Structure 1
C-alpha cells in the first residue's frame, strides 16, 4: 500500500518534504504538489547543494542567525494561511537543511497563530543539530485540544518506537507550551525534553481572559482594530525589527536600518494578525487556549521530563515571570532562563539564540544521558560575537596583554610559543573570582583558532547553581565555551581527544582566596595553593601531552577584598548561609587536610577599583612525549610538578615587576590611546 507524503506546495519556500523516517504519519497529501516521487532524495539533494557535512561541526561555524526576519515570517504565513481543507500536519523547513548524523528529533508546537513558523529565526541554527519538524494548524481547522494531543502523541510514540535510545525535544511556544506539558504528563516513560517559551499555563491571569465574551460580540468591522492592539501586545516591534539588522554597523547605520525595517514591518504586522487570526479563528483559539491551560495545570504533577522555561520580563500577554517561578518550584527537573527586556513573542525577537540557550544549559544530548564530550557542540561565530560584546567593557577597561615563550626562551607578545596542536595542558594561577578566564579563552580563539576546555568546579553544573529567574550570562557562557566538571575521567578523555585543557591545581581555594590577616586590606594575591599530588603531570605523560605553565597578574589593580571566608564565617547569619549553600555539593580533595582541602564555596565581598591591566605570560612548553618513561616514576613526576609551580611563581614575579615599565598601565592612558587609534587597535605595553 502506498504511503502518503505530507508536504507543502512549491509556492512556500520555507517548507519541504519530510524525510523518510516521518512517512508513517497518517496525513493526507495535498493536490498539486511537486517532488511526488522524490521521497528522501529531495532532502539529500538540498543538503548537497548547501554543502552541509553530516560528520560534525567546525569550531566557530556559522550558526545561521540573521538569515531570516519577522518579515519573512509574515510572507510565508500569507502563503500558508490559504484555506486548503487539510487537517493539522508536520512540515520540515527547507532552511533547516540536513542535520549531522545521530541528531535528535525536535518537534515545534506553535502558539495561537498555529502557522508553525515561530522558529523561523532559528531554523538554520537548529537544523544543523536537530531533525526539525513544525506543527501547522490551518486557520480553518477546528480540531479540539484533545484531538491535537492525540495527533502529537501518535508522532511521539512512533518516533520513540523507532529510536528508543534517542530523546525527543518538544519546543512549545505559548499555547504550544501547554501542549508540550500535556504530552509529557501523558507519556512519563518516554525520554522527552521540553523547552517552553512563555507557556500559557496562566491563561486565567492573562489579559486575554476577559476577551472571550468581548471577541464573540465584536462586529467584524472592529476586528482589525482588535488585531492592531493584539500585534503590539504579542511582541516588541523594535526587537522584532532588530532581528534582521546587520551586526557590526555604526550606531547611525543601525538606526537607519532599524527605521527601514520598522517602516515595512509594523503595517505588515498589524495586517498579518488580522489575516492569521480572523474573528472566528480567534474566538476558537481563545476557547482552545482555555482548555489547554486547564488540562496542563491539572496534569502538571505527572510531568517527569526535563524542562527548560524561557520567560520574558516584558510579556504583556501573560504573567510569564511568575509562571516561570511556579514551574521551577513545582516540576522535579526544571531550569529557567529569564529575558527581562523581551516580550511575549520571545522566539521572534532580536538577541534570542535558542540553540545557544539549549547548549548553555547542557540540555543538548543525543542519547538518554548527557555526555560532556560527545554531546558538546562547539561555539558558533555568533556566540563568540555575543561573548565579546558581553565582555566588551571589561576588555576595554583591562586591555589584556598576552606573552608567550618560544623554544629558544625568547618572550614575545603573542601566543606563538604555544603549540598549534594538542594534547596540551595549560596550568596556571587562578585569580580572584576567575577574572582571567574570559580574555584567555577569547585570545586562543582569536589567535590560534583553538578552543580551550576549562576544568571547572562541579557546582557550576549542578542544581545548586540554578535559580528561578536566572539569566544566561555568565555561567551558561562558561559551558558554551567548553567547561567541564573537574574529574580525572574528564581530563583523561580530553587528552585522549587531543584537546587543549585549562587546569588550575589551586582550585576554589585559590580562586576564592582570603586575606593574609583578618580586617586588613592585604590579601593572598598571587599565592599558589597547590596540593602535593602531581597527578596531572603523570596523566599528561601518559598521553604525551605538552604542559604549558602560565602566570597572570592584574587582580590587585581591579578588586579590593573586603570580607573573606574567615570574616564571613565569624558573622552568624553569613556562616549559616555558607553552610546551607554548601550542603549536598560535590566535595573535592576530601583526602587533603588543612586549608588546601578547604573547598567551601562562598562569595567574597569585593570592591572594584579603577581598572588596571591584565598581563599573561605563558612559559616554555614542557614536552612529556620525550619523557614518558621517566614520568612514570612518582618522584621524577613530582620534581616536574614542583618545577612547574616554581616557574609560575617566577612568571608572576616577572609580570609584577615589568608592568611598572608599561606606559599604558593606567586606564587614562589607555582611554586616550583608544580615542586616538580606535578600540580595535592593540594597546602597546612594555618590551619583554
Structure 2
C-alpha cells in the first residue's frame, strides 16, 4: 500500500507513530458514514450522495484546482490562534461518553465540529484511526489546530461492533481509494493511535504487541466476572499514559511554582474519577474483543514491512509502560526505506492526549505538510501559530532572551535611528541582508521581535543540509532544525527567492552563508560575501526594498575553542567532517577561495557570562524602478558593494555604541529587572 501515515502511537505499540502518504489508487466505493447527534460531532459523509458538508460547488472547485495543480492560498496569518491548549483530557472523556452512546451500527467516519473548515485552499485530507477505545476522539486536543490546515475525519467503531480486522482494513482502503479517485493530486494523511497504528500499517509494518504487559492478562480478562470489570480501567490507566502529563494539559505555563502545583493538583483530582468511565466506554466484552483484534492485526502486519515505499514519520514515547515504543522505533528506523523519528522521552503511551505534543508543529517541523503531489516549500508553508510562539519564546527560549535583553534599533527614511522596528516596512517584498553570527545565535531574538512587533516572520534562506534529515537517529528528539522549518526556513536557491519576492514576502538572506556562521578564531564580525550580486538584480526586478542590518554580541556570549582548522587536524573529526560534507548538497562550488568554503562542522564552544545582543537595521534601499541594475552587471555590483559596506558600517556603529550602554553587564540588567519587573524593557545607549 503506497501511502503516508502521520503520527500514530503505533503498530500495536502505543506512543509510536507513523505517517504515510497516498499516491496512486484506482477508484472504489466509499463506505459511507452516518450522522452522530452529539455536542461535539457532526456528519462527515452522507450515505446517499457521498458529499461532504462543504457543498457541491465548493467541492467541485477544489477538485478542479487540485487537478490543475494549483496550490491555492494559505489564508492564515502569523500568530493566528490555532486553539491548541484549550482542550483537556476531561473534554476527551465527555466526548467519548457522548459518542459511545450512539446506539450502535457499523464503523463510520465523522468530522469533529471543533475542527471546523480548513482556512487553506486544497487542504489535504487527514483520516484518524482510533485506539482501543474505538470512539475516534483521541485527536481531540488537536482538532482545532489540525482543522485549520487539514480536512479532518475520524473513524468511529461503535462499542458493540465486531467487525474483524480485515473488515476495518477494507473500510479504510475503500475510503482512500474513493478520495484518491476524486482528487488524484490531493495528499491523504493517516493518523493512527495505538490500535489505529496497527490498522494503518497493517500491510507494511511489524508490531511489538507480543511484548506488551497486556498480553498475559487476556485469559484473566476473559474469565473475569463482569462485576469486577470496573477495576480494569484503573489498571490500564497506569500503563497506557502518564497521568501528570495528561493533567498538565490544562495548566498554564506562565504560573509561579506554587500556582502550578495547585493547578496540577486540582487537575489530577478532577481527572482521576473520570477513569471509572472507561468501564462504560470500553465494556468488558468490548475490551476483550479489541485486544484479540489487536493481536490478530499484529500478526497480519508482521510480514508487510518491505512494502512501505513512501515517507514515514514515527512518533515514539520514551516513557511508554504499555509497549516498547523506543525499541520499535529503532527497528522500524533501520528497516523502513524512508523513515524519520521524533522521540518524546518524557511522554507515555497516550502521546496525543498529553502535554507538550502539538501534532501540527511536529508535522511542520519535519517538512511533511503539503497540499499537492510534491511539497512546495514556498506555498505549503504554514506561519507559526500563537501556541507555537508561546512554546518557543515564552517557554523554551525565555531565559536565553531574558539574560541577553536584545536591543533592536532601526533607521527611518530620514536617517534617524530609533529603538524598535519602526524603520522597517510593514509590507513586502522586503529582503533583509546581514551578518551571520557564530552558529546563527542571532536568529532567535530576531524572529521573536519581528513576530511580536510586526506580527510577521522571515522566510529564511538556509543551507539545504538543515532540511534533509539524513543524519538523524531513531531517538531523534525535536531539534533546532525543526524550529528553523517551523519558523519559515527553506533551502537557499534562486528559484525559491524568486517565488518569495513574487509573493511579496519578508526574506532573510546571509550572503556569507555557512562560512560566516562557522567562522574561525579571530574572524568574528568579518563578512565572507562572494563576488556574486545576483540577489541584487533579482531584487531590482521585483522592486524589493533591501534592508541591510548589523549584529554584534557573539563575543559577549561564546568563546570559540576548537574551530574548523583545529578539527581538521584531528583524524576522527576530520573523517567525520569529510563524510558529512560528501553526502550533503554542495553550494557555491563555483566560488573560489574561502568565500566558497561551505563545509559544515560543529565548532567547540564555551559559554561566557552573557553580555548583550545589539541589532541595527539600516536605511531602506528602494530597488523599485532600478531597471539599470537588472540589465547592467556593473550597476548591480555597485549596489551589492554598497549593501556590504552598509552592513560593515552598521556593525562598527554597534561595537562603538555598546561601550556607552550602562546596561551591557548582566548584573546591571538584573538589578533593573528586579526593580521594574522581568518584562520591562531594559534601557540602552542613546542612538
TM score, norm. by length of structure 2: 0.90
Corresponding residue for 1:130?
Answer: 150
Give the secondary-structure state (helix, strand or coil) at the position aligned to 1:412: strand
- Contact between 2:407 and 2:615, CA under 8 Å: does it hold in 1? yes
Post-superposition Cα deviations, 1:235-286, rounded to whole Å, max 9, x if no partner, equal 11222122123454444333333322221111112x1222222222222111
- Contact between 2:515 and 2:528, CA under 8 Å: does it hold in 1? yes
Give 1:2-151 correspondences, 5 Å limit: 6-10=33-37, 12-19=38-45, 23-24=49-50, 56-82=75-101, 84-99=103-118, 100-151=120-171
Of 202, 224, 228 in structure 2, the residue corresponding to residue 182 of structure 1 is: 202
- Contact between 2:32 and 2:45, CA under 8 Å: does it hold in 1? no
Post-superposition Cα deviations, 1:132-190, rounded to whole Å, max 9, x if no partner, equal 1111111211111111111111111111111111111000111111111125x4xxxxx
Give the secondary-structure state (helix, strand or coil) at the position aligned to 1:583: helix
* More divergent stretch after superposition (302-311 vs 254-263): 254-263
* More divergent stretch after superposition (429-438 vs 246-255): 246-255
Of 244, 265, 269 in structure 1, the residue corresponding to residue 271 of structure 2 is: 265
Q: CA deviation at 1:43?
A: 13
The answer to whether the aligner puts 1:467 opposite 2:473 as a matched pair is yes
Corresponding residue for 1:557?
Answer: 556
Q: CA deviation at 1:395?
A: 0.3
Post-superposition Cα deviations, 1:608-632, rounded to whole Å, max 9, x if no partner, equal 1111110011111111114232453
CA distance, structure 2, for counterparts of residue 613 and residue 490 of structure 1: 34
Corresponding residue for 2:24?
Answer: none
Corresponding residue for 1:540?
Answer: 539
What runs of 5+ residues in structure 1 fail to find an aligned partner? 26-37, 45-52, 186-198, 516-522
Corresponding residue for 1:400?
Answer: 406
- Contact between 2:249 and 2:354, CA under 8 Å: does it hold in 1? yes
* More divergent stretch after superposition (247-256 vs 485-494): 247-256
* More divergent stretch after superposition (275-284 vs 154-163): 275-284
The answer to whether the aligner puts 1:333 opposite 2:360 as a matched pair is no
Residues 40 and 662 (structure 1 numbering): CA distance in 2 closer, same or farther, change over 3 Å? closer
Corresponding residue for 1:597?
Answer: 596
Corresponding residue for 1:529?
Answer: 528
Corresponding residue for 2:65?
Answer: none
Corresponding residue for 2:649?
Answer: 650
Give 1:607-686 correspondences, 5 Å limit: 607-686=606-685
Give the secondary-structure state (helix, strand or coil) at the position aligned to 1:384: helix
Residues 55 and 511 (structure 1 numbering): CA distance in 2 closer, same or farther, change over 3 Å? closer
- Contact between 1:553 and 1:615, CA under 8 Å: does it hold in 2? yes
Corresponding residue for 1:189?
Answer: none
- Contact between 1:554 and 1:615, CA under 8 Å: does it hold in 2? yes
The answer to whether the aligner puts 1:346 opposite 2:368 as a matched pair is no
What runs of 5+ residues in structure 2 fail to find an aligned partner? 1-29, 59-71
Corresponding residue for 1:193?
Answer: none
- Contact between 1:309 and 1:335, CA under 8 Å: does it hold in 2? yes
Q: CA deviation at 1:513?
A: 0.6
Residues 536 and 161 (structure 1 numbering): CA distance in 2 closer, same or farther, change over 3 Å? same
Give the secondary-structure state (helix, strand or coil) at the position aligned to 2:600: coil
CA distance, structure 2, for counterparts of residue 19 and residue 143 of structure 1: 20
The answer to whether the aligner puts 1:575 opposite 2:602 as a matched pair is no
Corresponding residue for 1:32?
Answer: none
The answer to whether the aligner puts 1:500 opposite 2:506 as a matched pair is yes
* More divergent stretch after superposition (213-222 vs 172-181): 213-222
Give 1:141-540 correspondences, 5 Å limit: 141-182=161-202, 185=204, 201-269=207-275, 271-388=276-393, 389-515=395-521, 523-540=522-539
Q: How many residue pairs get matched?
A: 643
- Contact between 1:177 and 1:200, CA under 8 Å: does it hold in 2? no
Give the secondary-structure state (helix, strand or coil) at the position aligned to 1:92: strand
CA distance, structure 1, for counterparts of residue 129 and residue 363 of structure 2: 17
- Contact between 1:200 and 1:318, CA under 8 Å: does it hold in 2? no
Give the secondary-structure state (helix, strand or coil) at the position aligned to 1:231: helix
Post-superposition Cα deviations, 1:474-529, rounded to whole Å, max 9, x if no partner, equal 111111111110000001111111111100000000000112xxxxxxx2110111
- Contact between 2:530 and 2:595, CA under 8 Å: does it hold in 1? yes
CA distance, structure 2, for counterparts of residue 248 and residue 101 of structure 1: 35
Q: CA deviation at 1:40?
A: 5.5
Q: CA deviation at 1:201?
A: 2.0
Give the secondary-structure state (helix, strand or coil) at the position aligned to 1:364: coil
Post-superposition Cα deviations, 1:15-60, rounded to whole Å, max 9, x if no partner, equal 11115699549xxxxxxxxxxxx9666999xxxxxxxx99611221
Q: CA deviation at 1:88?
A: 1.1
Q: CA deviation at 1:205?
A: 1.4
Corresponding residue for 1:196?
Answer: none
CA distance, structure 1, for counterparts of residue 472 and residue 678 of structure 2: 35
Give the secondary-structure state (helix, strand or coil) at the position aligned to 2:262: helix
Post-superposition Cα deviations, 1:454-486, rounded to whole Å, max 9, x if no partner, equal 000000111325322222231111111111100
Q: CA deviation at 1:430?
A: 0.4
* More divergent stretch after superposition (89-98 vs 16-25): 16-25
How large is the RMSD of aligned CA atoms in angstroms? Answer: 2.2
- Contact between 1:544 and 1:628, CA under 8 Å: does it hold in 2? no
* More divergent stretch after superposition (651-660 vs 505-514): 651-660
Residues 161 and 250 (structure 1 numbering): CA distance in 2 closer, same or farther, change over 3 Å? same
Q: CA deviation at 1:448?
A: 1.4
Give the secondary-structure state (helix, strand or coil) at the position aligned to 1:152: helix
Post-superposition Cα deviations, 1:549-586, rounded to whole Å, max 9, x if no partner, equal 11101111111111111111111111111111222211
CA distance, structure 2, for counterparts of residue 418 and residue 325 of structure 1: 48
CA distance, structure 2, for counterparts of residue 374 and residue 631 of structure 1: 26
- Contact between 1:309 and 1:336, CA under 8 Å: does it hold in 2? yes
- Contact between 2:36 and 2:99, CA under 8 Å: does it hold in 1? no
Give the secondary-structure state (helix, strand or coil) at the position aligned to 1:215: helix
Q: CA deviation at 1:77?
A: 1.4
Residues 686 and 83 (structure 1 numbering): CA distance in 2 closer, same or farther, change over 3 Å? closer
* More divergent stretch after superposition (199-208 vs 528-537): 199-208
